[in-house]
Amino acid sequence: MTTDLTRLTASALHDLFERGEVSCREITSAHLETIRAHDARYGAYLHVLGEGALQAADEVDRRRLAGEEMGALSGVPVALKDVIVLEGVPATAGSRILEGWIAPYTATAALRLMGGGSPVLGKTNCDEFAMGSSTETSAYFPTRNPRDPERVPGGSSGGSAAAVAAFEAPVALGSETGGSVRQPAAFCGVVGLKPTYGRVSRYGLVAFSSSMDQIGPLGRTVEDTARLLAVIAGRDAHDMTSSPAPVGDYLAELDRSVAGVRFALPDAFLDHAGPALREATENAARALEAAGAQRVEIDLPSLEFALAVYHIVSRAEASSNLARFDGVRYGPGAPADDLLDLYLESRGRGFGREVKRRIMLGTYVLSEGYYDAFYMKAQRVRSLIAEDFERAFRTADVILTPTTPDTAFRLGEKIDDPMAMYAQDIMTLPANLAGIPALSVPVGTSRGLPVGVQVMGRPFEEGLLFRTGRLLETLSGEDRADA
């Protein structure tokens, strides 16, 4: 067919495939060609499967002809952030310490996608061990924002967001600990979801901060993102933190009205946003009211401590999780006279500056004399933040906020200012601390750069977020199939 398949939404590609009007091989080939032609400019991918993706596509075509039942994204290829392992494929987590390591098994989320008829195009670039907000801490190269290649795509899932925005993948999986799916989604003008903690299995996800880590979907439309979640969600025996709660019919939710939905727009978030982001969020609020939603007031008194709590807890857990990368169990190793020298050489050369910074801070807050003063106190305040959200959701059904303080910043602008970089997650990280779902939706542009708003909801009410997001994405004024 003459249509450029890379410009179609994932939902449209799935429908064409299901009707037999286009093969999975054709869809996959078109995206591989786009990657070959354009990814040198953007740096979205660390590893492209190439022939392996085409062989997987051929198997999907065979299954369709045999009448096998597949998933809500059958025929649609996907990209995976390089912290999600795939058997027989390199997995670096954006770090030199894992350079050359080949994964011996496949993550549950990836298995469900492949089982549902979605070949994997490749592994996308990311901040090292998912620690960053710009994809500039990758040990290999920075990723550039397809909407303006002189700017960052956000992070740590910047490669996945850029791949979707650049039409190098119809949909992608990212991961986030403090907003690393939603923030790059907002910067790149795509849709990104942080599911409820436990909604998607973490089995096969390289750990950063286990109590907050999440695999999350990215797509160019809310519908595409809902389809992706529908495939990967659900209980997994390999992950005891995954929830047995039933998976909702997310697609059925999309066409339901938001009339009667109660939403809040707290000043605690707006106060951190620039003028363009505030205006966009207020416009989104007016659109909800025009559609019959009701604006209500809530109070989140503990939110002022969220940034400090997040950075203490996440770094403590990172210090623990990354202890395994020691040059013996993982890592390239190094000539050394004793075990201590081996650790120092392997970790010193294998880890980048940001990872070292976070390990050192995490080790400090867990050390004797500081554990109670910092880590345990942060955990207690984290509980207060979760309780604040629980109370808020007795009044509101969803909470509306900007996704980011501002639009995408320039490459190199914040990389040497850790505090400025950390503040990029101030809108998103509260949802990770509370374990609630949150969706970022593009609602327009400011100075030519995408603007995103965030919708947070009660645990396991992703369907309501998709319903709300479906209305809000009409504000962008863009054709999401060809932005």
The Cβ-side half-sphere exposure at 137, using a 13 Å CA radius, reads 28
Asked if residue 142 belongs to a domain, the reply is yes
Which DSSP helix (H) or strand (E) runs through 358? helix 353-365
Region 345-356: mean pLDDT is: 90
Please report, as a single letter, which amino acid is at residue 274: G
**Looking at the predicted structure, is the pLDDT value of residue 436 above 50?**
yes
**Looking at the predicted structure, is the pLDDT value of residue 169 above 60?**
yes
Strand pairing category for 191-194 and 294-296: unpaired
Domain of 256, CATH number, reads 3.90.1300.10
What is the Cα–Cα distance from 394 to 384, expressed in whole angstroms? Answer: 16
Please name which of 18, 242, 256, 209 lies closest in space to residue 109, comparing C-alpha atoms: 242
- pLDDT tens column, 256-309: 999 999 999 999 999 999 999 999 999 999 999 999 999 999 999 999 999 999
2 — pLDDT class (breaks 50, 70, 90): low
Asked if residue 66 belongs to a domain, the reply is yes
Asked if residue 289 belongs to a domain, the reply is no
Asked if residue 276 belongs to a domain, the reply is no
Region 383-399: mean pLDDT is: 98
The answer to whether the beta carbons of residues 465 and 439 sit under 8 Å apart is yes
Sign of torsion over alpha carbons 311, 131, 158, 470: negative
Asked if residue 457 belongs to a domain, the reply is yes
482 — pLDDT class (breaks 50, 70, 90): very low
55 — pLDDT class (breaks 50, 70, 90): very high
Residue 156 known to be catalytic? yes
Asked if residue 343 belongs to a domain, the reply is no
What is the Cα–Cα distance from 187 to 472, expressed in whole angstroms? Answer: 17
171 — pLDDT class (breaks 50, 70, 90): very high
Catalytic residue among 156, 175, 302, 346: 156
pLDDT at 479: 58
pLDDT at 327: 78
pLDDT at 476: 74
pLDDT at 403: 98
**Looking at the predicted structure, is the pLDDT value of residue 73 above 70?**
yes
Number of folded domains in the chain?
A: 1
* Cis status of the peptide bond prior to 156, with omega within 30 of 0: yes
Please report, as a single letter, which amino acid is at residue 323: A
pLDDT at 483: 39
Q: Structural domain of residue 457, as residue ranges?
A: 5-263+397-476
- pLDDT tens column, 110-167: 999 999 999 999 999 999 999 999 999 999 999 999 999 999 999 999 999 999 999 9
Region 41-51: mean pLDDT is: 98
Asked if residue 29 belongs to a domain, the reply is yes
Residue 81 known to be catalytic? yes
The answer to whether the beta carbons of residues 180 and 133 sit under 8 Å apart is yes
Catalytic residue among 81, 123, 194, 414: 81
Using CA atoms, how far residue 386 sits from 33, 397, 428, 429, 477, in Å, is 46, 15, 14, 12, 35
Region 61-79: mean pLDDT is: 97
The answer to whether the beta carbons of residues 405 and 273 sit under 8 Å apart is yes
Please name which of 230, 250, 12, 243 lies closest in space to residue 116, comparing C-alpha atoms: 230
pLDDT at 473: 94
478 — pLDDT class (breaks 50, 70, 90): low
What is the Cα–Cα distance from 120 to 38, expressed in whole angstroms? Answer: 18
Asked if residue 310 belongs to a domain, the reply is no
**Looking at the predicted structure, is the pLDDT value of residue 335 above 80?**
no
pTM of the model: 0.96
Range in 72-76, 257-261, 459-463, 479-483 the model is least confident about: 479-483
205 — pLDDT class (breaks 50, 70, 90): very high
- In percent, the amount of the chain with pLDDT more than 90 equals 91
The answer to whether the beta carbons of residues 471 and 287 sit under 8 Å apart is yes
